Structure formats: C-alpha cells, structure tokens
Structure 1
C-alpha cells in the first residue's frame, strides 16, 4: 500500500513539474509577444490553451513544454529583444524566417541547448556571429541567409557535429572560409558574400554554386580576372574551368587540336547562314558562322587574341564580354555539355537566329567543333536585370534600381518572350526554356530584352533542385513548355518586386506572405521609399501570382501577360511600344482619351468587378445608383460605340468611361452586410456607406453604418473604430478585406479600444445584457 502511495506521489510530482514548465513557457511567450511590433495579431491569449490554440506553437506529446515555434512571415519587425524565447529550454525548432527583424545575432539563443533547427533567413539581422557555437550539440539545420551579417565565418561551426545543412548566402561575410570538418554536412551555401582566398579542401566536395558571388578559388573554381583593352591575353573561352591552372603550352595544344578536328568536318555551310560580305566565311575549320544582317567578320583566332571579361557562369556554360579588334564589342557564350548531334544543333541555332524582335537579343552567329560550341550575341552595355537588381547591395552608396526601370524591363521582357512563343509553327514549338534575371538585359530604349532563348533544349537536363525558376511540372529542362516559360516569368516578377534573388524558395515565400494578407511585407524596401507606386506594385504582384499557378493549363499565355503588364500603366507602356498582341474585350483603362482614367477610378472599378465575381462571405456590395440614374439614357446612346463589349460587365465599364455623372459617383458605394449567424446581430440587414477619397488607395475609404447598431466600436453616427481604416491602412488592402473585417468586428467586438465606452463597459461586466440589447436593436432597426 505504501509503495502504491509512493508511486502516486511521484506521478503527481511529475505532473506538477510538467505543468510548471508549460506555465513558464507560456509566460515567456506572452512576454516575448508583448515586447515586439508585428503587423498581424496572433491569437496568443492567456485564456487559450497554448498547446492547441496558439498559432505557430507546438508542444510535446504530453503538452508539458513548447518544442517548436513557427513564426515565419508573421510581420515581426524592428530591433527585437529575443531573450524571452531563450527561456524555452526544451525548444527544438525555431523558425523566424521572412520577417523584418533587425539587430545583432541574439546571444541568448546559446541557452537553447536542445535546438535542432534554427531558421532566421530573410530578415535584417546584422553584425558578426558569435565566436562560439559549441553549445548547440544537436543542431542539424542553420539558415541565416538573406540578412546583413558581417565579419568572418566562425570556425567553431565545425563543432556542430550533427549539422546537416548550413546556409549563410546573401550576407556580408568577409575574410577566408574556415576549414570546416563536418562529415555529416550535406547542404552548404555561402554564395554572394565578400569571402576571399581559397576554398578549404574539406568543402571542395560541394558544387561551385555554393561559392558563387565571392572572390574565392580552388582547384575546381578559378578566380574571375578582369582584362584591360591593352592586355591581349589569350581568351579563356578555349579553356574549361578545369584547365585554368595549366600553362600556355596546354592552351596552344588545345587550339592545334581544334584546328585538326575542324579540317575533318564538312566545309560547306548553307548560304543563308553566311554573311554575304564574306563568301569564304565558314570554309575554314576555325571560321565562325554568322547569320544575315550583321557585318561581323572574325574567326576563332581573333577571339583567342581578343581581350575578354567573364560576365557570368551558369549551369549551361560561361558568358564573356569580348572586344574584338576592328569590330564591335560582343557577347560570347561558351556552351558545355551539348547533348544533340551537330546537325540538330545547327538547325536549332539557325531557327533561333531567324527570330528578330526589339525585345529579343539577336543571335549573331555560332561556332561548332567537337571540343567547342560558341554562340555570339550583341553586347548590352547597361547590364542584366540580375546585375542591376542585386549588384553592390552591400554598398552604402549603391544606387537602387527604381520602379520605372523595373516596370519597363518586365514589360519589355514579356514582349520578347511572347514574340518567341509566336514563332512556333506546325510541329515546331518554340520555348525560351531558361528565363531568369541574368538573361534579361536593359536595351537602348530602356526596356527589357531577353537572351538565351531555346538553348536549354540543346543541353543536358539540370537536376530538379538546380533552379527555382523551373515550373513544378518540368522534370527535364530540355522539355520545357510555353506554360513553364510563363511560370518562370512569374518567378522573375517576384524577384523584381521583392529584390530577393531566386534561391529556390521565392515562390513559396511570396505565397505564404500574401496568404496571410501581409502583402506589403513582400516588396523590396528600396521600392517602398516611393509610396506613389505601391498600387502598381500590387497589380504586378497579382500578375506574378497568376503566372506561377501550379496548374499549367490555368496560367495565362505570354500575350495575355503582356496585356496585363501593359494595363498597369497603359498611357506610358503603350506609348513606348505598340502592343502586337491581338485584343479581345477592352480591358479596364484601355479606352484612350477618357478623362476618368486616373489611378483611383481604375482601382475602384477593379475592386467592384472583383466583388461581383467573388463577394466576401456574408457581405455584398453594390453601387449606389441613386444619383446617376438620370444618365442611363445617355449611356445607352453610346451602345453603338462599344465595339468590343463581350458581356454585360464590359458594357457597364464602357458606361463608366463615357458618362460624367457615373464616373463622379464611382467614389460613393453602398454595401449590405448580413448579420453574422454566431452573433446577436444574426438575421439583421445592415446598410453601410463607403466614400473613397480622390487619392485612394493611398488613403483609406470612409465607411459608416446607415443602420443603427448597438456595438462598442460603432457610435450613433455610424462611425466605425477599426484599425485598418486608420493607422493600419495599406494600399494593398481592399474593400473586400474591409467588409470582412467589419463582419469579424460584429462577431468579436474590441472593448479595449471602444468608440462607445458605456457599451464597452456593459460588454465587459454584463455580457448577457449586452447581447440582449444588441438583439433588440437588430430586430428594431435591421429587420424592418
């Protein structure tokens, strides 16, 4: 009997200890959330059970302690004190990715001895890392990428014996890479820092992509050297990376071998691929075949004598800027691992060389031998979108890429890809296959120009994880489709909007942020300095979301993408280029000469159309027709002018653009809100007026109840106390979101921020009386 009592006492003591632990964890998290600024209200209420109701919190199976904290994309911002999190002694997973947290690496995290996964990526952390990492004996994943950490990489990281994944990319780390002997390390990314020196032997088992964007070298990776015009060094085009350390003798042997091989190849080339000014072009083994339309005459020897500069390296080869004597500067791409026969290679290149468009980089010529495959393009002196967007981000005097240039580059690139797709015919389907920011250049008109079209079909397929631009349905990069091009273009749009380089998770990150309705957190902070363009950025974001849909058949065609981008700023983009795509129904904002095509009216009409198509639950919105009915007759007189009206909605839009009184009253709406079923307002029909300011959406609309309602946050004049209609307003919000928030406010009042203190006091002290009075008012005023 005594033993049984002892067992019960021990069990009781264990439960007391476990209960005390979870209470301490709950208190620590309440302290943490009370000391931070965040754009979204977490449901961390002291009255709710922490293990089952708190967002982002996971407990162990006994609900005795917190083991995981997932707060990715939670709108956390500012210089945070994270010491309270360090009190969660049993925490194993800490995910704070994709917020806006600043400050140094939290030293208090060293107390989290049981941590197995730490993700602080996509924040604004800065300063050096701690010297000592040995306290995290169980850590398997450490992701600090896309921050502003600096200083050297601590050598103590090698003490993390269980480490499986280390990502420090896109920071400002400097100095040499430490020799990290971590046998279990499978994933490593140190790209795009300021690291120098030699890659340690212990890390040379990782791919070169793990070190790009640094000034480092190894037996596998040669440092990039810039060549001056006065230095006529041998062009490294004739050498692969593995020959970089060989002497001049090896270079000469390769050249001689190339010549001997070329003498055995067919000397006669089709005349249409030759430059007419040189009838002998292509006859010799070292001749480069040029297409019509460009007076370029040089051969492989000229390239070998020319000065060159490496512009970039990718999975399909290396790209060089070449200054040939007595000729223009060109771009030469050295292709590796071609997987098709020579004839098929030439046919594909010939077809690509025939594509002519001002937004497509012209393919000027090519060289083919057993050892070397080169293609020649024009050089764009203003650089690529990748360089303009990501280059020198670590420098304080960097000139940001403005929205105007980004918009123009996206628009031009869209036109270029659409033209490439239009060149398909019969069984020949033309796709780009490798759309990315380093393949988009700024042309002389200030618009984007796409390069590298069709090259992916000639190469060995990349591994699935090699590119975040790839559509999820594409397993083989040689078999790209036009819908997969559209997906890649959507990723490109996200890169332009966020300022974040695509490293494999950009689409997932953008979708997670937008899904939580924190759209403003998506945009590049360099763009947010100019609030006048936020509405255009939101529209561009919507284009990217449509393009990156998971179902290929649901994605738009590139010609439709061109039109959608053009609609963002039709008066500017349409004047820069005349759209070549066929038009269907007239899009909003495309009727030229209308005096009502300002930003506010365009946005209001778009929101109304969205509401009609997909109204929010329990809410409906209609225009107040009371003022402008007298103009309907005038509107119908213009029916014969509406040539492209394919639906009643097109007709309504047409009437808005033509008649003055209609456009004036676009800024005055009336909404009907049905009382939520789980509230004392159930069964009621509440009328709400909405007045849009002239500078909408940069200023919030004024919303008021016309129907009397008994509520602590709604006064007798119908005014509503709602944070998103005041300081929390953002141009990314919509009337649909406002109506849903009002419905939520009816269900869940906020007595701590009342507009009517007396009703708030009743709600707190006598909720039954409050609900009875609210029901009585609903029956009297909202059910008549």
Structure 2
C-alpha cells in the first residue's frame, strides 16, 4: 500500500506549492520587473539590497510592500501584466504625472487591499476597466488627465467606500448613469469630457466645477428642456382621450408668429439700408454680435477653458473670417493684395487644412488675453489648433506681414510654434499648436480645492528651465529681439509638463490702448512704453515668474501684505528678516532634500528682478544657473512625499 501512497502525496504537494502566499522576495522581483519595463530617471534603486523597503517610493509593513509612490519620475511605456499580481498587499499606488500609455493591467484586480489609486496625468487609454470595481476597499480613485474613453460605468456603485472620484480631462462619452449612487462620495469631478444628458439626482449636490466642459443640464446647471405637456389635435393624451389646444392659445400663437415675422422684416430692411450706405461692413462688429453671449471676465490664459463645448456647428473663431468672406468660400485677392482670403503657412509642413476647414470647425473660447481672444478649434479631420484673433493692430499691412513672418521663422522646442496666419484689413488670425494642459497660471492658481494635484519641485524646476530656454532662444536672435509680455499665462504646458513660451513677437503689433495694464506685476520699473521692452526687462519679468513658481502667489492678485507691496519687494523683505522658509509655497515645503536648490532658485529670481537693468543677469546665464541647480537636485535620491490623501485618513472607512 505504501508504494501507492507516494504518488498521491507527491501530487498533493505539487498542488499546494502554487498556493504559497507571495512574500517580500516576490514583491522585490515585481518591483524590479516594473523598473525594467517602464524605467524612469529617479528609480535609482540599490538592487544589491535584498530588501526593497529602503528604496525610494517604497514603504513596507509586516515584511510586505504596502505603498508604492512614483509620482513625476518620467515613467514611460505600458504597464505590463504580471507585476501587480505579486504586490497583493498594496494599499496605495501612485504613478501620477508620468507618461505611461496603454490600458491598465488586469492583474491590478489582485490588489484587493488597495485604498488609494492615483494615475492622473498620464496617457492611459481604453475604457475604464471593470476589474477596478472589484477593489471594494478603494477610497481614492484619480484617473484624471488621461485618454480614457467610453462611458462612465455603473459598476462604480460597487465601490461603497469610495470618497474621491476624479475622471476629468479625458474623452468619456454618453450620459452619467442616472442610477449612479456612491454613498460616501465627497469629491467628484467629470469636467472636460464629452458627456451629455442630465446630472443624476445623487450628484446634484456637487458644484458646477465638477461638471464643466460637457453638455450637461439639470442641477447645478439650468433645468433640462422637457416636451410640452400639450398634445396636438388628433393625438391621444395620457387618459386615452384627445386633448385640443384652447382657442386662446391658438390665437396667441398666430399673433406671436405674425409679430415675429414683422420684426424680422423690419430688421432685414434696416440691414439692407446700412449695406447700401457702405460697401464694406466691419467684420469686427459682426463677429462681436456672433459671440456676444460669451462672457469673458478679465484676462484668461490660453488653455483655460470657459463654459464652452464642442458641436456648436460653426466656429466662433472663424466667425470673423466668415464676416469678411461672406460665405465659406475663400475669395480671390484684390489688385493690391490687401484682402487675400487664405491661410498663409510657415515652413515646409504639409498643409493639412485650409480656410474652409477652419470655417467649418467647431470651437470653444479659451480666453481673452492681452492681444485678443483665443479659441480652441476642432477641425473635421480631428486636428486641434488654437486660433488667436488679434485686436487693436495699428501698423500697416506691409509692416504686419514682415513682423509676423519673422515670428513664424522662430523654431525652438520651448516655443509654441506659429503655424499659419490669416490677414485682411479687418481681421487678423494666428493659428498655433494647441496645448491641452493649458497655462502655468491655470496650473498654479486655477484649482485650490481638495482635488488639486500638488506641484512638486521637479515639475516646477522643469517648467522654469523650459521657459528660460525658450526666452534665451528669442534673445539669441538679435539684441533688439525680446518677448515683451512674459507672464505665467503665456507659459503653456504639454502633457509631460514641458514649458512652451507663447505670445512672443506680438507686443510690437498692437496699439498703446491695449497695453497699459497688460503686464501688471511683471513689468520692469524702467519700461514706459509696453511696446518697447528690452531684453533686460524680459529678465525682470522672468524673475517675477520664478517668484510666482516658488511662492504660489500671483503678482497680479490681492495685495501681498495689505500695503500694496509687489511680489519682488515682498520676497526681499521676508528674506532680509531671515524668514526664508515663509516665502515658499506650502506645497513645496513637503519635499525634503531640495531646500538648498529652492533657495538657489529664489536667489536667482531676486537677481533677475533687480531694480536696475545692469544688475540683472542675461537669459543665457539664467538658463545655465537653473541647469546647474537642477543637476544637483536630480543627483539626490528623493522619496516622493504623500499624495493628496494620507493612508490614515482611509482606515476609518472600514
């Protein structure tokens, strides 16, 4: 009998072995596989150590990895399946602000203890996967600023402990499920997707900021339109009978129709008379009428989206051109070429669209800035561009074309390239690449709520370096070349938070009426004519920009100490009292081992904002100093600090 028992025992042993629980060794192997798959410039783990618990971004409890935080460390590529199946004790996973692509790996479903999942600011795509809804301990879920598509799944109702759900800035479509009900939800945002329909009753307590950039109705917006509770003659009503309109209602409809017809007739007569008095109608006035319902309070940076949406059928940006052309057909140039109705492109790039395409594009208002109004135009073939409609251009036709063609030749990776322009006597349009992440101003000051993503030192210093390189390139084009309007709303960002300088070369195109207050807080003290800004004055403005990055305070906003002191003088007064740490944004103070670099950048900012021009460094020196201090900080192995919510905050949800 014993020989027969041996195979049985061996089979039982082999069956039990695969069920052995993962240990710290399997966690270590999974992390090394992750490092090999997606890399990252700060994954400087000491692989000779047997325990991963001392590695940057890794925390352990009970001899297992429970926290993995790798925010903003330049991870790229797809997360492979087979890694998270071993990290089964994870409670917090943060890979936000990287460049990860593809779909989420299905073995994330094995992390059944996961409470915090932060994946915002990547390029993940596909539908929100159903396996996420099996993670019933999830308390914080942030999938914002990715490329997720499809609808909002009803499976979210399974996450009964969920307090935070952020899916804004994706490509989600359809309506929000009317039965969506997450009982403990405290933070919610679906802004800037492609959603439509009504806001479910359970979500109507959230503010409008949670839903902007969609086509939604119902609280907190206006009520949804509903069919009239009146049946036409011959239609059955709810009681099975027929309900006719009262005679008074019919009479009212007839009288109203007649009055409306007469009113339209009077308007047509007035318009015809005006046309007979003048051969040319001001396109500016017509375009203003076309978008008079759009309220643009104050100055907004390009990239800040107003309450606009897609699918309006006609481009607000192109309304100005349509007013000139009279239809969607580009007209021929007249004898002196002053009215050429076509887009003029720069460089040797393929002309993938023309004026007709721009006229047919759907659009939304991005903001009203110093030089005019900017729009996001979505062309029929899917191309997205930014269109700036200039105002108050006072120079001659020839001078305008010379100056704008000089702008079009500027080519640097840290500049927003000017792709094309349209010129007529009454309309001047500039076509740029569209920057989906918006401006530095919006990033720093646009969202101060609980859903804000903190900006770490690495992101801020990267933005500072990119902006410096862009401005240095402009200055290298000649001693008379300057930007003239440096401010945080003119620093646009890519999805990987690389800085792109915009609005360069436009300061010399507009009249003095547009300029008196346009750079309040950024303008150098010696500048008397905002159209004539020296390179040293650019350096001053850039110094204020650096102070804004470090302090989190906008120089154009409220008084800094109730006495009207500007940002450079306020910083200098604090530094003189040796309260240097009081200067920095609280979001920066949480990051360790970079205080020295922060102080160095602060000193550089103060040098740039010196009162006298000859005391300020050149942009070449500014760029070099930022490169040096960034190099020293990147050599330090830093452990990223906690994400938006701490783990201890979630234990109570159990």
TM-score bracket relative to the smaller structure:
0.3 to 0.5
Q: Report the TM-score when normalising by structure 1.
A: 0.40
**Bigger RCO (CA 8 Å, 6+ sep):** 2
